[in-house]
Amino acid sequence: MTGGASTHVSKQAPVPTVPWGGIVAFLAIAGIVGAGVIAGLLAGASTQGILTNLGFYASIAIIFAVLALGFNLQWGYTGLFNAGIAGFYLIGAYVAAIAITAPSPPIVVGGIPVYPGHLGGYSLPLAAGIILAMFASGATAAIIALPALRLRADYLAIATLAFASILQIFANNLQSVTGGAIGITGIPKPIAFTTADAPFLNALTIVGIGSAILLLFILLLQFMAESPWGRVLRAIREDEEATMALGKNTFNYKLQAFALGGALMGLAGALFAVTLGYISPSSSFAPSVTFSVWVMVIVGGSGNNRGAIFGAFLIYGFEWLSVQLKDYIPSALAEGLPGIRSLLIATGVAAAVLLVFVLFVGRFIWPSARSRILTTVRERAWARSAIVAAFVLYGLGWVFVFLQQYAPRAIGDTIFYLRLMFIGVLLIILIIYRPEGVLREHKRVLR
Amino acid sequence: MAQVSGSLPSPTSRGSTRWAALRPTRQFRRRLFQASIVTVLFLAFVGGLTVLFGTIILQYAVGGLVVSSIVIVAAIGLTVLYGIRGFANFAYGDLMTLGAYLALLLSLNGLSLIWGAIVSFLVLAVVGVLLEVVIFARLEGRGPVPPIVASVGVGLIIQNGVRAVAGTQEWLYPVPASQDIVLIPGVGLHPVRGFLTLGVGLTLVFSAHVLLKYTNLGKAMRATADNLELAKATGIDTKRVTYAAWVVSCSFASTAGVLLGLGTALNPTMGFDIILLIFAAVIVGGIGSPYGAMLGGLLVGLSQEMSVPFLLWLERPDVIGLQFGTAYKVAIPFIILFVVLIFRPWGIAGRRPAFARRSYFIEQIARLLGERRRSETPTGEANGGR
């Protein structure tokens, strides 16, 4: 602060601000984990089963966090909009799988080919597979970016989306390399456990390896983002022409950022292949993966690595929770339907009575409290949002009750699609009202 | 040029001016010349392929024309919106799906399919205006990426809403079964799936041409697409033009969706699966240019369908024995797209921007050539490319 501003502010003591974003983030993740554990307990799962499930959540969330870090480097820092995240993810997964699996010849049963086999069988160690995957994805990202980087953002989006869908076609049909629609199975785990609690130990090793890699890359990316290199990237995002005018070769910087982001996505693909033990081209690499990663970065806060990781844990948490609740909710709703309905009716009546009292009767009983409430509603954004949210929740409750009554199977069947619709709604609302996300980017002031 | 301008002010030669006004402009004559060259080249190409592969290639060409007519209708709708609102509408494919399913819903409830298509055309127009008012008007002036994100959100909502309501199974329009009409021996076309689609496509293309070229609204739309600020300054109500663009775009999406469903079957991802083909057509033709979209759609649709015999040839074990070769036909338009992005990113019919940045490859080639030239002339053209 210089000049006129310092005359008004006598002391430069920093005001301790409450980190609301961080608190919200922590509470949201804790809520998801808690809800998942409670759902598991209600379903009667063993402690180890619940822990395995939580380990699966953590490992996939870490994979999405790596994807989100890659996309954040591309979009959040440099402003390059990548719509083909699923494609780079797919390359990483297939390259790693081909590198580390044992040979798998075609299987023919009675003259009918059951499994076409796939390229590879090199049985390389996991680290080699990960490095190869990163290299392949990064190089592909650079090649894709070459024609599209000089153009407007939407050309890059379309080119990368086209590239991702071509890759999916190839993965589905180029049987001799990718194993066709069945994909690649039998991808070895990092450590082969043979005991009864192998799933739990496997999840634990993946979480260990994944969090080590994640930590390494957070530190690395944070260091790079704060370095002069990262400063040029942010300058390109804000104003590319001005950055060029300052003598920076923006094309090279953009190419580097895009290739690095692509390499991170390849790393995520390699981790995914190891985590699941098999890969197939159908759903794991669908365009919805790309859209989920967008939501993660936008929710968390683009241009903020912590935000990207929080977004990944939150949005994948919703998906995981919807799977957990999918088996539980319909039956619970069916059992508790009368109770839920009477609860909804009682809440509605109580709210209506409260509204009547505040608006009409309160004037005669307790005028000061009434006016205080009305002023709060009129002046505070959070109060208005709370009222809107309450209405929406109430309406959703009734929707579920009616769905359960008239189409009992609909909820169980459609919960997956409802989740994707929810992601769509979230994308629109966030991009309109809070494009900076929950954990917003730290504004830097040059002195 | 000089003759025309010289004859205009003289009042005596009134008759000749009347005819001079009807004479095609120089630009139009040049376009006509280019178009005839393209047509001749294309016919020679098809003729050559026919000699190579037999009349089966004509069947593929006719099928390609049908696909092209769908792609062209969709590409015009997409590019009109692209030109005026300045963003790539990733929800366009899903809007097509929505239109197709609306027509299906109405045709299952007693209406004929034609009335269903018309009602869906009108409903989608309203949906378009609503989308602009509720969502996209709030994102104006924030660059191309936020509207893309929001449109992906809209697409997710539509696609999964359709899945939740209509299920994931395939639906068929109630089309009367009939034999293909034989054009020449070996080449046939279904009366509904082929001729009707071609007819509707041509009608829509022609009406878009009339709208854009011969109405005040079309003029205003072209002006807005060309330069928004200048259009505002000349007093064009750009808000109204934007709504009109949404109406045209979404209603064309509905009809393209119905035609697409007519050709095959309806499923919730039918629109999303074809959106990239439409983007390819739009970019190949030149973003924001409806006439370019027509050309691009023709090129993309024909190349996709006519690559099938070639891919079948590749499938033969004595060539390279490619498995499922015909599945790669959808990759052909993207190869064209990438080639166009590398060498002519403003499209084959688009106007080259004054300060077009050269693509990386062209710049490298130019640098290689330029170094030799620079050694001859010391002053050189250091900034010639920009």
B323-355 residue pLDDT tens: 777 778 888 888 888 888 877 777 777 666 666
Contacts of residue A424, Cβ cutoff 8 Å, sequence gap at least 6: B152, B153, B154, B155, B156, B157, B160
Place of tokens 């704060």: A226
Residue at B170 is within a domain: yes
Q: What is the pLDDT of residues B209-221, one digit of tens each?
A: 999 889 989 889 8
Highest mean pLDDT among A201-215, A399-413, A432-446: A201-215
Local confidence band at A337 (pLDDT 50, 70, 90 cut-offs): confident
Say which residue, A109 or B72, is predicted with more confidence: B72
User: Cβ contacts (< 8 Å) between A154 and chain B: which residues?
Assistant: 87-88, 144-145, 148
Q: Are residues A302 and A349 in the same domain?
A: no
Say which residue, A316 or A443, is predicted with more confidence: A316
The pLDDT of residue A5 is 43
Q: Indicate the DSSP class of residue A35.
A: H
Q: Are residues A339 and A216 in the same domain?
A: no
Q: Domain with A271 in it: what CATH number?
A: 1.10.3470
Say which residue, B365 or A285, is predicted with more confidence: A285
Task: Calculate mean pLDDT across residues A35-48.
Answer: 80
Burial class (CB in 10 A: 0-12, 13-18, 19+), A269: buried
Q: Which domain holds residue B145?
A: 52-353
Q: Are residues A102 and A218 in the same domain?
A: yes
Q: Do A165 and B337 touch (CB under 8 A)?
A: no
Which of A324, A354, A377 is the last residue before a domain boundary? A324
Strand A107-109 and strand A112-115: the pairing is: antiparallel
From B146, B323, B361, residue closest to A435, measured CB to CB? B146
Task: Calculate mean pLDDT across residues A409-437.
Answer: 77
Highest mean pLDDT among A100-114, A256-270, A365-379, B359-373: A256-270
Residue from B85, B89, B160, B168 whose CB has the most chain A CBs within 10 Å, to mutate:
B160
Local confidence band at B119 (pLDDT 50, 70, 90 cut-offs): very high
Residue B152 in contact with partner chain A when CB distance is under 8 A: yes
The pLDDT of residue A338 is 77
User: Cβ contacts (< 8 Å) between B150 and chain A: which residues?
Assistant: 427-428, 431-432
**pLDDT exceeding 70 applies to what percent of chain B?**
85
Number of residues that this document lists for chain B: 386
Residue at B39 is within a domain: no
Highest mean pLDDT among A431-440, B119-128, B279-288: B119-128
Residue A432 in contact with partner chain B when CB distance is under 8 A: yes
Residue from B81, B149, B330, B367 whose CB has the most chain A CBs within 10 Å, to mutate:
B149
Tokens encoding A380: 């505070």
How many helices (H) and strands (E) would you count in chain B?
Answer: 16, 2
Distance (Å, whole) CA A370 – CA A348: 20
Q: Are residues B151 and B86 in the same domain?
A: yes
Judged against a pLDDT cut of 50, whether residue A7 lies above it is answered with no
Burial class (CB in 10 A: 0-12, 13-18, 19+), B29: exposed
Per the prediction, chain B carries an average pLDDT of: 81
Q: What is the ipTM of this complex?
A: 0.78
Q: Are residues B162 and B286 in the same domain?
A: yes
Q: Indicate the DSSP class of residue A152.
A: -
Residue A421 in contact with partner chain B when CB distance is under 8 A: yes
| Residues 154-173 (B) with a CB less than 8 A from some CB of A | 154-157, 159-161, 163-164
The pLDDT of residue B355 is 60
Q: Indicate the DSSP class of residue B24.
A: P
Q: Are residues B294 and B386 in the same domain?
A: no
Q: Are residues B174 and B240 in the same domain?
A: yes
Residue at B12 is within a domain: no
Q: Do B272 and A287 touch (CB under 8 A)?
A: yes
What single letter denotes the amino acid at residue B346?
Answer: W
The pLDDT of residue B154 is 94
Judged against a pLDDT cut of 80, whether residue A288 lies above it is answered with yes
From B88, B143, B359, residue closest to A157, measured CB to CB? B88
Residue at B272 is within a domain: yes
CA-nearest of A267, A113, A90, A99 to A187 is A99
Total domains in chain B come to 2
Residue at A419 is within a domain: no
Residue at B28 is within a domain: no
The pLDDT of residue B382 is 42
Q: Which domain holds residue A392?
A: 329-408
Residue from A428, A433, A434 whose CB has the most chain B CBs within 10 Å, to mutate:
A428
Residue at A400 is within a domain: yes
pTM of the model: 0.81
Highest mean pLDDT among A166-175, A259-268, B27-36: A259-268
Say which residue, A309 or A182, is predicted with more confidence: A309
Tokens encoding A196: 């009864």
Residue A11 in contact with partner chain B when CB distance is under 8 A: no
CB B112 within 8 A of CB B294: no
Q: Are residues B372 and B247 in the same domain?
A: no
User: Cβ contacts (< 8 Å) between B164 and chain A: which residues?
Assistant: 410, 414, 417-418, 421
Q: Are residues B60 and B192 in the same domain?
A: yes
Judged against a pLDDT cut of 60, whether residue B383 lies above it is answered with no
Q: Are residues B130 and B276 in the same domain?
A: yes
Q: CA distances (Å), B205 to each of A162, A185, B78, B225, in order? A: 26, 50, 13, 19
Distance (Å, whole) CA B194 – CA B180: 9
Task: Calculate mean pLDDT across residues A306-333.
Answer: 80
Task: Calculate mean pLDDT across residues A286-290.
Answer: 87
Residue at A444 is within a domain: no
Q: Do B283 and A158 touch (CB under 8 A)?
A: yes
Local confidence band at A343 (pLDDT 50, 70, 90 cut-offs): confident
Q: Are residues A292 and A378 in the same domain?
A: no
Distance (Å, whole) CA A195 – CA A202: 11
User: Cβ contacts (< 8 Å) between B87 and chain A: which residues?
Assistant: 154
Residue at A429 is within a domain: no
Total domains in chain A come to 2
Residue A26 backbone phi and psi in degrees, to 5 = -60, -45
Q: Do B153 and A176 touch (CB under 8 A)?
A: no
Q: Do B359 and A150 touch (CB under 8 A)?
A: yes
Dihedral of the CA atoms A90, A187, A171, A422 (nearest 10)? -50
Q: Are residues A149 and A109 in the same domain?
A: yes
User: Cβ contacts (< 8 Å) between B160 and chain A: which residues?
Assistant: 417-418, 420-421, 424
Say which residue, A67 or A397, is predicted with more confidence: A67
Q: Are residues B229 and B195 in the same domain?
A: yes
Residue at A443 is within a domain: no
Highest mean pLDDT among A292-296, A397-401, B379-383: A292-296
For B340, the closest chain A residue by CA position comes to A147
Q: Are residues B375 and B293 in the same domain?
A: no
The pLDDT of residue B187 is 75
Q: Are residues A352 and A374 in the same domain?
A: yes
Per the prediction, chain A carries an average pLDDT of: 82
Q: Are residues A271 and A402 in the same domain?
A: no
Q: Are residues B255 and B126 in the same domain?
A: yes
The pLDDT of residue A4 is 43
Task: Calculate mean pLDDT across residues B98-114.
Answer: 89
Residue at B41 is within a domain: no
Residue at B104 is within a domain: yes
Q: Are residues B258 and B197 in the same domain?
A: yes
| Residues 11-70 (B) with a CB less than 8 A from some CB of A | none
Q: Are residues A228 and A296 in the same domain?
A: yes
Residue at B84 is within a domain: yes
Residue at A85 is within a domain: yes
Residue at A101 is within a domain: yes
